[in-house]
A and B are shown apart, each in its own frame.
Chain A
Amino acid sequence: MEISKISEEKQKNLLSKVLEVLKTMASRPSGFIGLSILAFHILLAFLSPYLAPYDYKAIDPSLMLQAPSSEYWFGTDSLGRDVFTRTIMGGRTALTITFFGSIIALLWGGLLGIFCGLVGGKIDDVVMRIVDAFLSIPWILAMLLIVSLLGTSTEVLIPALGFFYGKGIVRVARAATHDVIAKDFIVSARARGHSNFSIIWNEIIPNVRDAILVEGAMRWSWMLLGFSSLSFLGFGVSPPTPDWGLMISNARGLMSFAYWSVIAPIVGLSSLIIGINLTADAFAKALGIDRSTKAPV
């Protein structure tokens, strides 16, 4: 009875902490804009199938490359599909894949980083060397290779992106752990004889959590950027699924006379990335972490 009350209280604390952080984030204009854009995109991702005026894959050669009109708000593309429909639906795949991808990146990168920071020594050296090696392969080359050989299904993309964007988190989590581990409260816990697991769970995680979460938020925007680049290069979402990167790639050859079909997805993708970025920035500031000193590795 009593214990459940305590855990309930903790949950309430967590919720109120989240609310407090959100409030701090929204109190700055940039944070407010970022959060609003992000919220708008998430809402759109959920609702767009119901809002879309046309079928996103309905091809009609007679309607090819129509300029924006009251009927087709953003015009039509080279296959006569409604650009508005495809634009509002174009972020769904990217958002989903990168969201779950960042969670995977966060989990494995964070845990491995904390582990390496805690144990140190030889294991740490070896793991960091391997992580460094992965860092030195340009992400685009590695992703292209994986995707071209394993295909572009969600089951491939999520873990592949998660893996590739997690290696940077390993470094951040390890550095944060190193900072914390020298503190006297960890020494105190060790001297009391707590187990490694208890030290990680009770003492380290609460103190590196913020840094890792901020890193995760940052990864999300980079992952989105990476994923869209893949789509743009033709290695991401397969047609006819609407996706901004792919739409830009398809429409760009014709943009000298049908600029609308390229502008609409550009606005969609740019606003989402800026929204996530501003949010990540505000998140970092609300938690008191300066993220601008970090390299985008």
Chain B
Amino acid sequence: MLFLIIKRIFLGLITLFIVSLITFIGTEVLPGDACTTYLEREAYGAALEACYKRLGLDIPAYERYLSWAYNVIQGDFGYSLSGQMPINEVLGPRIKNSMVLASAAIIIGIPLALILGIITALWRDKLPDITISTITIFAMTIPEFISATLLILIVAIWLQWLPGIVIVPTDVTFFELLPNIILPVIAIAMIMTAHMARMVRSSVIQVMATDYVQMAILKGVPYWQMVFKHVLPNALLPAINVVALTIAWLLGGVVVTEVVFNYPGLGRLVIESISNRDLPTVQALAIILASIYVSINLIADLMTLMLNPRLKSLQIRK
């Protein structure tokens, strides 16, 4: 068991290492660098060299990678080019804000997806299933920027119930933030819930068709006891990993949603730093987002390991 956990963590770290290499090489081989971007037309001669020296771009790439990686491991991402301040200071409040948004979406989304998925599976091809399934297809296919735009148009502009655009300073407190995040959370949660509900549905349907569920019925187990004891534990276990992948994938959606609502999170920072060609910040963002992805998947793997009696006893025996 311990060995498996260590192995998964190790694999996650390897993934992060490859990500760091990819982003570093990626930003390196592409034409144009921080100095040419920063200095624009004055990027020649002494000014350029001075800039290189200041940013340490005059030393070989692999050395820069090593010292950068060393600093990252220490938790130091270096200096942002555009803001002229430590990236850590730029990131801190942004991460917090995005976390608020994402966690709210997850806290609403997962239980809702479970309930909807189970309802649609148990009432398969009946009215509740047909209605909910049709809605989920729409919810999962429409891009976040469209649903977000429509939400603003309808709720904020026509009905004027909630603020449409978040106009708050970056370091806002949680309670000031709350009314502002309702619409973005709905926009993110909608697509995520729809995806997960569909997966839960098909997983439950698969389990409902197994021999052991038929056996439980033939044993005289009452319906709901069968659902909770025999169906759901087996249906939701494989769903954990898929749910994790969905959450990770939706990080991209968070970026777009933040832009639509002008929300001061990581997503808008992505757009800002890319527009400014602030490569150190972009690298930091890539590592952070990849770490989130890797850790979500790691947690899902570990949860599956803990909950699956098959794997559990396998470890005990060996």
Contacts and interface: CB of A to CB of B under 8 A. Distances in A.
Interface string B136-161: 01101111111001101100010000
Contacts of A48: none
B274 A221 contact: no
B202 interface: yes
Given A255-B157, A293-B242, A296-B195, A139 B146 contact: no
Interface string A220-257: 01000110110011000000000001001100100110
A145 B282 contact: yes
A145 B142 contact: no
Interface stretch (A10-18, A49-57, A59-67, A270-278): A270-278
A257 to B, nearest CB: 9
Interface in A261-297: 262, 266, 269-270, 273-274, 277-278, 281, 290, 292-297
Contacts of A148: 274-275, 277
A269 B143 contact: yes
Contacts of B311: none
Given A138-B255, A144-B271, A273-B141, A129 B293 contact: no
B23 interface: yes
Contact of B14 (A129, A259, A262): A129
A123 interface: no
A255 B150 CA distance: 10
A58 interface: no
Given A255-B149, A273-B142, A295 B157 contact: no
Given A136-B290, A255-B157, A294-B242, A232 B23 contact: no
B94 interface: no
Contacts of B277: 148-149
A145 B31 CA distance: 12
A145 B289 CA distance: 14
Interface string A119-149: 0000000000110111111111100111011
Nearest to A245: B145
B18 A259 contact: no
A225 B260 CA distance: 15
Nearest to B275: A148
Contacts of B236: none
B225 to A, nearest CB: 26
Given A133-B22, A232-B143, A248-B145, 18 more contacts: A129-B15, A134-B22, A136-B293, A136-B294, A138-B289, A139-B249, A140-B256, A144-B274, A148-B274, A149-B30, A149-B277, A229-B144, A255-B153, A270-B142, A270-B146, A277-B141, A293-B199, A293-B203
Interface of B: 11, 14-16, 18-19, 22-23, 26-27, 30-32, 137-138, 140-146, 149-150, 152-153, 157, 195, 198-199, 201-203, 206, 241-242, 245-246, 248-249, 251-252, 255-256, 259-260, 270-271, 274-275, 277, 282, 285-286, 289-290, 293-294
9 contacts: A133-B16, A145-B26, A221-B141, A226-B252, A262-B149, A266-B149, A269-B143, A295-B249, A296-B195
